Structure 1
Amino acid sequence: YLAQIETCFHVADVYEAWALFQFVKLTLDILRSSLKKISEGDTGADAERREVARGLLVAHKALDSITYTGVVMFLVVCVGQAGWALYRLTFTDPTLNGWESYNNQLSLFKAAGFIASAAAIYNVHIVESEFHCFFVGYSPLLKFVTVKILLSLAFFQAGAFYAIQTFNKTLPNVLQDVSKRIPFVADILQFNDSQFYLFYSSLILYECVLGVLLHWFAWSSSESFYLEHNDVIEGDEEAIAEKTPLVDKTEKTSYSSWLFG
């Protein structure tokens, strides 16, 4: 049943890739809007900062294209992997030619996904590290941390574990004996496929809990970007006019009272 278990992960990766695509789209739109506001002096920035914003606004289109390249590659690989796995398991019988053929085909997607996820993580990191001070009303740090954790779940973490196991097998016997004595690492190095998926599924659950806690603080409902970037909603004047903050900043909201009534 390992193939069916893997397919569940593949389908989850598609949802993850789509969420990443939407996050990048929102972030780049807000960055463009923020640069426009700074360059026009709406934020009270000094002349030097306005000039820098104008230059970055010109380069934004190129940044947009480069960032989307990594994200779209990741999305395409995830869709292709999930689609091919579902097709093989639903409309063909992998046992006719042996599971080795099926595993070899999926290993190609794993290799491509590892590279694509690394590229997407790098692109997201560059946007956050180089442009974080230009976001108006949008706190990027925790948002990007949660996205990097989410991205690493798809291919990067599993690929890293497999790479460590493969590398350990190439070591001399003396070094392999040493690695077998390292607590926790020794267990990971000796996992078979069934044990690895049990371990990895449990690890993802803990990481998802961590992600939820980080999202609690990362996506505050009182952030001003919900109201400030009206130009992100193009051509919908009614939507702009009717926009209201999710939480009024003037209203002191107690999270404990909201949670426990």
Structure 2
Amino acid sequence: MVVALPMISCMMAYRSVTRMWMICANSKVGSLGYVEDFNCEKTWLARLVVCQNMYNTNLLLADVYESWALLHFADLALKIITASQTKQVQTISDRDVTDNVAARMGKSLHSLTKQGVYLFMGTCFMQAIYHLLTTSVEAYLGGAVTLPFSQTVYRIRTQVHYLFLGMGIVASTAAINNVITVERTFAESLKHFEPDLKFWSIKILLTLGFMQSMLLEIPPLSYLSVTEQDLFYASILSAECFGVSLLQWRAWKPSEKWLEDLRDAQLQMHEPTSSRWTPIH
């Protein structure tokens, strides 16, 4: 999941690049040849609006996968922490007590750590579903029947944009804070996990989109048209995802010791309690 994240993000960003080039070339390929404006006329402006909506939808779908991968990454990190702490138990007599305490602590830790990630996932899913639904109606179900719906979506687009923007900032901040808290609090338990590069690959992708959108408001990038800004943003994001993929290649090694520790912990968890207990002489 996490290793494939740069590839998925790059694919969706590149698809957004092609959407912007369709606007520049006045393309009428596929559904764009049937798009109509509010006067039921096939115009370039109508195709512009639909392509911009498809552009945003592509990036939001990438965010959905990113939030899903982040959830799996958090779950993996918590499993490694639990396995590392369980391995530190030295005596058999203390193991049963420690296992119960570790299990209760593990459930609480999982719940608290994943709260920010779940918030981020929920926000990404709501954004993606809204834009996917409205864009599909505009692109494939245009006409007099859906005209009132399209007009309403167009009228409230600014309010919806800032609503989701605020939700995204809060949710991504909470998710990043949870990741950083786990990384710093359990640094000793994550020692064999070599978390530095792994956590950085996640944090870079979480902050990349927001920071770049802020840069577009600064001259000279702010002087570009909306289409030019979108084309620049998606093109840079595609190149950056390639850099993150190289970081992932360096961070995730198939021969790391934590894989063996995690496998041993899972085997021990499924082992009957009676077989793990021996009398103390």
TM-score, length basis structure 2: 0.64
Q: Secondary structure at the match of 2:57?
A: helix
- Aligned residue number for residue 190 of structure 2: 135
**Partner Cα distance (2:174, 2:241) in 1:** 22
Match of 1:102 in 2: 157
The worse-fitting range, judged by mean Cα deviation, of 19-28 and 196-205 is 196-205
In 2, Cα distance between equivalents of 1:234 and 1:9: 42
User: What are the equivalent positions in structure 2 for 1:37-56 lying under 5 Å apart?
Assistant: 37-38=87-88, 40-41=89-90
In the TM superposition, residue 31 of structure 1 has moved relative to its aligned partner by: 0.8
Q: Distance in 2 between matches of 1:7 and 1:234?
A: 45
For 2:247, the equivalent position in structure 1 comes to: 214
Which of 176, 187, 197 aligns to 1:121? It is 176
1:66 maps to a residue whose letter is L
Compared with structure 1, are the counterparts of its residues 236 and 207 closer, same or farther at alpha carbon in structure 2 (3 Å cutoff)?
farther
Question: How much has 1:221 moved relative to structure 2?
Answer: 0.8
Distance 1:114 1:204 in 2: 19
Q: Is the 8 A contact 1:34 1:136 kept in 2?
A: no
- The number of equivalent residue pairs is 203
Partners of 2:235 and 2:229 in 1: how far apart? 10
- Letter of the 1:36 partner, please give it: T
Q: Over aligned residue pairs, what C-alpha RMSD do you find?
A: 2.7
Q: Secondary structure at the match of 1:216?
A: helix
1:199 correspondence with 2:253: no
Deviation of 1:140 (Å): 0.7
The match for 1:77 is 123
Single out whichever of 117-126 and 134-143 deviates more from structure 2. 134-143
Instruction: Give the whole-Å Cα distance in 1 for the aligned partners of 2:230 and 2:267.
Output: 43
> For 1:1-261, what aligned pairs fall within 5 Å after superposition?
1-38=51-88, 40-41=89-90, 59-91=105-137, 93=147, 95-97=150-152, 99-135=154-190, 137-154=192-209, 156-158=210-212, 160-161=214-215, 165=217, 185-230=218-263, 231-232=265-266
Counterpart of 2:277?
A: none
Structure 1 stretches of at least 4 aligned residues deviating more than 6 Å after TM superposition:
54-58, 233-237
Task: Determine what percentage of the aligned residue pairs are the same residue.
Answer: 32
Instruction: State the one-letter code of the partner of 2:165.
Output: K
Extract unaligned runs of 5+ from structure 2. 1-50, 92-99, 138-145, 272-281
Report if aligned partners of 2:83, 2:261 keep a CA contact under 8 Å in 1. no
Q: Would you say the 8 A contact 2:84–2:261 is kept in 1?
A: no
Name which one, 1 or 2, has greater alpha-carbon Rg: 2
- Over 3 Å counting, the alpha-carbon distance change for 1:65 and 1:210 in structure 2 is same
Paired letter, 2:254: S
TM-score with structure 1 setting the length? 0.69
Q: Which amino acid aligns with 1:222?
A: S
Question: How far is 1:55 from its partner?
Answer: 9.2
Which residue of the partner structure matches residue 20 of structure 2? none
Q: Counterpart of 2:229 in structure 1: which amino acid?
A: F
